[in-house]
Copies of this chain bind each other. A is one copy, B any other.
Amino acid sequence: MDFSTHFPIWDKLTPAQQKTISQTSFQRSVSKGTVLHNGSVSCLGMLLILSGQLRSYIVSDEGREITLYRLFERDVCIFSASCVMQNIQFEVIIEAEKDSEILVLPPHIYKSLMEESAPMANFSNQIMASHFSEVMWLIEQIMWKSFDKRLAAFLVEETLLENTDILKITHEKIANHLGTAREVVTRMLRYFQSENLVRLSRGTIEITDKKGLEELSE
């Protein structure tokens, strides 16, 4: 598995550019919890996710977190090469949420390809536009959607990602995804339990009425 089979614009690159990518890119295994990119202190390069799941988030001065978006199989991550991108003035953290296999294209190679190849530059543009769209969606959620709807949507998404209705996730972790305090999550989960939407026990949240959660989230 390499860029030639997984990179969407491979056929739009010149043979020389394809050769450069093949010779400089490398595969890396990262275990769950690994921080791949941490704001301006690291610059791994452009990533192509072969398997697993990455999470992109920001963190406040006080240590509060909020998830911006997640990356899945065949997604491409460009903010892990933010050191070679102009005008990026924010710092995201990218970590492996599951054990993952990734292909890495070093930042200076990524930069020189963008400079000489319009398809590569336009591809980066599309990736940024789709992340921008996810962040705009997030703003709309934060500004205009009540927390019960956001939490319901998060729980439904998690059952799909984890492929189980019994979620092993702490209230703290959910709070970090949604950018709120643990107490707020606990209070809302207890309310969901009283409405028979979930059943809470130590370390797990069992979804007992997924249809109800879906309706609530809309």
Contacts and interface: CB of A to CB of B under 8 A. Distances in A.
Interface of A: 58, 60-62, 64, 66, 85-90, 114-118, 120-122, 124-133, 135-140, 142-144, 179
A186 to B, nearest CB: 19
25 contacts: A60-B144, A66-B139, A85-B125, A86-B126, A86-B129, A87-B126, A89-B137, A90-B132, A90-B137, A90-B140, A114-B118, A114-B122, A114-B125, A116-B118, A118-B120, A121-B121, A124-B125, A125-B125, A125-B128, A128-B132, A131-B132, A132-B135, A139-B142, A142-B142, A142-B143
The list of the 5 closest CB pairs from A to B, nearest first, reads A121-B121, A90-B136, A89-B133, A87-B129, A87-B130
Given A122-B121, A128-B125, A138-B139, A133 B64 contact: no
A10 to B, nearest CB: 17
Contacts of A86: 125-126, 129
Contacts of A122: 114-115, 121
Oligomeric state, in number of copies? 2
Contacts of A88: 129, 132-133
A144 B85 contact: no
A127 B120 CA distance: 17
A142 to B, nearest CB: 6
A64 B88 CA distance: 28
Contacts of A58: 136, 139-140
Most buried by B among A61, A118, A126: A118
